[in-house]
Each structure stands twice: as C-alpha cells, then as structure tokens.
Amino acid sequence: MRALYPGSFDPLTNGHLDLIERACNLFGEVIVAVLSNPSKQPAFSVDQRIAQIQASTQHLSGVEVISFDGLTVNCAVTHRADLILRGLRAMSDFEYELQIAHTNRSLAEQLETVFLATSARHSFLSSSVVKEVARFGGSIDHMVPAEVAKDLIRLFNSAFTPHRHE
C-alpha cells in the first residue's frame, strides 16, 4: 500500500519522523508530501524541507519525498496513494483532522484517511514549538533529526550555545 503523508514539515520533527518510520512498517510505501503554501511564511523553503526529510529518512526504504500545492486529495490521486496518513498528538487535533478527513472523503471517495497516534515521547512536539526553542538557543537535539537541528541553528544564528543531551 502507498500512504500519502502530507504536511508543511517546517521543520520536520522527531514526531513526524516516528510516524514515517511506523508508516513504512505498516504500509510499505510512504510519500511524504511537502505543502507549498503561498499564504504562509515558512522558515525553510520547500527545497530545504525536502532535503531535510530526504536526509532524515535515508535509513528507510519505500520513502518518496515530493512537494505539492492545492488539494491533498489531488496529490494523493496523482501519486496513486491508497490512503492519506495523519498524526494525532492530542484530542485537540482530532476534531480538526476528522473534519479534514470527511472533506477529503467527499472529494475522493476512494481515499481513506488513517490516523496514527503520535508516540507519547513526541506528543508535545510541533514545528512551531521547535522553532521557538531554537530561536532562543534552547536544546532541540531531542526534538528534531540532526540535519534539521543544524539548519535551525544556522537559521537563527543563535548567540546561545546549544545544549547537548548525552
């Protein structure tokens, strides 16, 4: 099966990576679809985000990283995905994600949305939280893959010395 995992991934977190790894085990093929949203000001360009995801998933087989704009269902159909994968961190995510799943189903009946609960150790992570911690020089090594951490530190050119977890 081919799962489409859409998102902005700005940046990729360890929570995202955990979902990708688990989805590879469950479905075999995972298309990580990076949304290009002109109405948002991302920290990283689409090309940078794709490179970060490719570097962070090179240990996995069956992962393809693409960019898309427009409707997720159109991307899923174009790339012959069998399902759309979404992660849930907390109950607050569920209402929004369920509404999106119902909307997607109304647009493409053949596409199922599958929700995976985020691992408890990553449930606090969001891309915005990671960027905020990085902006103020906090330790992000346990939040994002190594390549992403380097890019964030470079982006914010932090005057703080990043803390290392050993």
For this structure, is 105 an active site residue?
A: no
80 carries an active-site annotation: no
Is 163 catalytic? The answer is no
Say whether 89 is catalytic: yes
**Whole-angstrom Cα distance, residue 40 to residue 65?**
20
| Angle of helix 46-56 versus helix 146-156 axis, rounded to 10 | 150
Of these residues, 22, 89, 135, 150, which one is catalytic?
89
- What contacts 85, CB < 8 A, 6 or more positions away? 3, 4, 5, 19, 23, 27, 30, 113, 114, 116
Which of 56, 86, 127, 131 is catalytic? The answer is: 127
Asked if residues 2 and 80 have their Cβ atoms less than 8 Å apart, the reply is yes
Catalogue the E-assigned strands of the chain.
Answer: 2-7, 29-35, 63-68, 83-88, 112-117
| Active-site residue, selected from the candidate residues 39, 40, 154, 165 | 40
Contact 43, 162 (CB under 8 A): no
The radius of gyration computed from the CA coordinates of the chain, to the nearest angstrom, equals: 16
Token pair, residue 46, equals 């689409």
Q: Which residues does the annotation mark as catalytic?
A: 16, 40, 89, 127
